[in-house]
Amino acid sequence: VQQVLDRLYPEPPMPLNHTDPFTLLCAVLLSAQTTDGKVNEVTTELFARAPTPRALAAMSHSDVLSIIRTVGLAPTKARHLIATAQQLCERFGGAVPRTMEELQTLPGVGRKTASVVMSGAFGVPAFPVDTHIHRLALRWRLSRSETNVERVEHDLRALWPPAAYGRLHLQFIYFGREYCQARNHMPSRCPVCSWADNPLPTSAPIAAARSKAHHAQQQQQRQRPQPASPDDIPQLLLESPRKLSKTSVLYGERVAELARGGAAARLIMSATV
């Protein structure tokens, strides 16, 4: 898995535009149920008008809503953004706190959002689990939990060293968007599922109960496209990733945008100074 991800995404860039921990926090708050491309569209104006917690805290709900109205759950997110900015000013001296516990006391900030900020803004090893990462962890048999996101995070963290968490988080996201989508997925053409999608070991009673179904399916399976082997991975990697939404951010597009030195590049570069 690591070999495939490193070949596809050697240096995965953060898909959300930001300039500092505060703007990253705002962008992540806006990203729930919204594509990163759509978030980047609205944060251009939002960050121009409110680049600091104090500036955002002074804005009215209607003003913020008018800027972010095209993102999902915009009214709630506008309230959370303003309330978070106010609490940053009142409780943390206008700075984003550097602990998971403190971050999760802010309005609208859960474990995933806090983990993204800790990793992306402060370089603290964290492995936030979003819908893409959860889906891939199940498909690749890296975790068994279908409902407990924290358990999935625990399972993934146990497989890699902490220094790899931040890069892997982004690699999983890009791969889930481009090759391993939730709908119309073709495991036989996936650079990982084609060879990693094997059944988990099961208990004897369960295995016995499935045996008849297994034999009945054998004939059909012989006529289906055969899964690729690891030797076929180079050819699979040549296939173009699928873009299911015009506002989703693909790896190649993001890298090209940063290379051109556009707005995203200026934001990312200023965040690293």
- Catalytic residue positions? 112, 130
User: CA 250 to CA 257: how far, in whole Å?
Assistant: 11
Query: 67: how many CB neighbours lie within 10 A of its CB?
Result: 21
Do 113 and 97 touch, CB atoms closer than 8 A?
Answer: no
Burial status of residue 147 (CB atoms within 10 A of its CB: 0-12, 13-18, 19 or more)? exposed
Contact partners, residue 263, CB within 8 Å, separation at least 6: 17, 44
Measure CA of the first residue to CA of the last residue in the chain; give whole Å: 33
Contact partners, residue 195, CB within 8 Å, separation at least 6: 227, 228, 229, 230, 233
Do 96 and 66 touch, CB atoms closer than 8 A?
Answer: no
Q: Can you read off the two tokens belonging to residue 85? A: 């900015």
